[in-house]
Amino acid sequence: MEKAIIIGAGPAGLTAAIYLSRDGFNPLVITGAEPGGQLMFTTKVENYPGFDQGIKGPELMRSVIRQAQRFGARLVNEEVEGVEFLDGPPFKIKTGQRVYEAQGVIVATGSKPRLLGLESEKRLLGRGVSVCAVCDGAFFKNKKVAVVGGGDSAMEEALVLSRFAAKIYLIHRRDEFRASKVMVDRALSSEKIEVVYNSEVKEVLGDNQVAGVRIFNNKTRVESTLGVSGVFLALGRIPATDIFKGQLEMDEKGYLLVRQGRQSSVPGVFVAGDVGDCRYRQAVVAAGQGCMSALELERFLKES
């Protein structure tokens, strides 16, 4: 049995790992598919203390991973499929490969991109459907694409794509944007970006690659088709808490409820980072909560 298992390897999970490993608790970090977390997808980070000239997100996170490993934290690149916390400790954590047991757990799974929830979207992921304009934008040189969403991230994706694509339809289900005014102005000033208001994507079309989207205008009640070869989803993020349903208490949006001392609804299971934070969502906050939950976990283990 492990003393401490950390689920997630962003700033929260890795900071917890640094503390726990330095203090001799030999933590195991189950990283999931994306060790390093969201900062791996950013360019320059300028508000993380200690880097007066800014630092690239991936560079920062690779350094944090090495820092945790230096003190003996073990990282396994597996995805958690389910947990049994209610009768713990020992707390059981099941990945695709094995079942781990731990005396204490820190949940730091962060968030994931919100999807439309269509079968066609899932089938065509990587075949024209994308959640990462920075990664995939270059494949759509001189092509028509759609961006779905209405927040800052949608504006940003559309602007990134305007460097490559011939035309960008910005599909939004309302008649005004949630995004900040400065981002909306920037996006709307691009001649390549055309806004399609009051419209919901009902289907992504295409067999082996995206050929278009079927949209429904919720004002006029008319359905139509847009011919595009790429669909970029920018619908914001949701907490990665599916695996904790029925095990840990969460709010109506799926964020884990956090009690005094970073504790979840189960004693011995602690929460750090965006998975329990819909308010700040900052790397430095996540790191701070990672530290707090590590210290609380140490106290829990000593007292039990």
Partner 1 sequence: MITLIDFYADWCPPCQMMGPVLEEVERELNGEIEFRKVNVDEERDLAQKFMVMGIPTFVIMKDGQELDRRSGAIPKEEFKKWIKGYLERE
Q: What is the DSSP letter of 78?
A: -
Least Å distance, CB 77 to partner 1, is: 4
* Contact criterion met (CB below 8 Å) for 22 and 294: no
Taking CB under 8 A as the rule, does residue 97 contact partner 1? yes
Least Å distance, CB 198 to partner 1, is: 28
Least Å distance, CB 263 to partner 1, is: 28
* Contact criterion met (CB below 8 Å) for 148 and 121: no
Least Å distance, CB 47 to partner 1, is: 19
How far is CA 79 from each of CA 7, 48, 194, 222, 293, rounded to the nearest angstrom? 9, 28, 39, 42, 21
DSSP-derived 3-state class of residue 269: strand
Q: How are beta strands 74-76 and 28-30 bridged, if at all?
A: parallel
Taking CB under 8 A as the rule, does residue 111 contact partner 1? no
Q: Which of the residues 207 through 226 are near partner 1 (CB under 8 A)?
A: 208-210
First to last CA, the chain: 15
Q: What is the DSSP letter of 182?
A: H
- Of 23, 132, 278, 291, the catalytic one is 132
Residue in this structure with the two tokens 């066609």, named with its chain if needed: 120
Taking CB under 8 A as the rule, does residue 100 contact partner 1? no
Q: Which stretch binds partner 1 (CB under 8 A): 29-37, 180-188, 192-200, 246-254?
A: 29-37
Least Å distance, CB 219 to partner 1, is: 32
Q: What are phi and psi of 256, to 5 degrees?
A: -70, 140
| 217-249: burial string, b at 16+ Cβ within 10 Å, e else | eeeeeeeeebebbbbbbbbebbbbbebbeebbe
Taking CB under 8 A as the rule, does residue 128 contact partner 1? yes
DSSP-derived 3-state class of residue 157: helix
Single out the residue of 10, 11, 35, 88 in contact with partner 1 (rule: CB under 8 A). Answer: 35
Nearer to partner 1, 208 or 260 (CB): 208
Single out the residue of 15, 109, 120, 130 in contact with partner 1 (rule: CB under 8 A). Answer: 130
DSSP bridge partners of 56: 44
How far is CA 80 from each of CA 1, 10, 230, 243, rounded to the nearest angstrom? 17, 15, 31, 8
Is 185 designated active site? Answer: no
DSSP-derived 3-state class of residue 108: coil
Q: Which stretch binds partner 1 (CB under 8 A): 34-42, 168-176, 252-260, 283-291?
A: 34-42
Taking CB under 8 A as the rule, does residue 276 contact partner 1? no
Is 132 designated active site? Answer: yes
Least Å distance, CB 129 to partner 1, is: 8
Is 291 designated active site? Answer: no
Taking CB under 8 A as the rule, does residue 190 contact partner 1? no
DSSP bridge partners of 99: 94
Taking CB under 8 A as the rule, does residue 269 contact partner 1? no
Q: What is the DSSP letter of 257?
A: P
Q: Which stretch binds partner 1 (CB under 8 A): 16-24, 204-212, 238-246, 278-286?
A: 204-212
Residues designated catalytic: 132, 135-136
Give residues in contact with partner 1 (CB under 8 A).
31-36, 40-41, 58, 77-79, 95-97, 125-130, 132, 134-136, 138-140, 208-210, 229-230
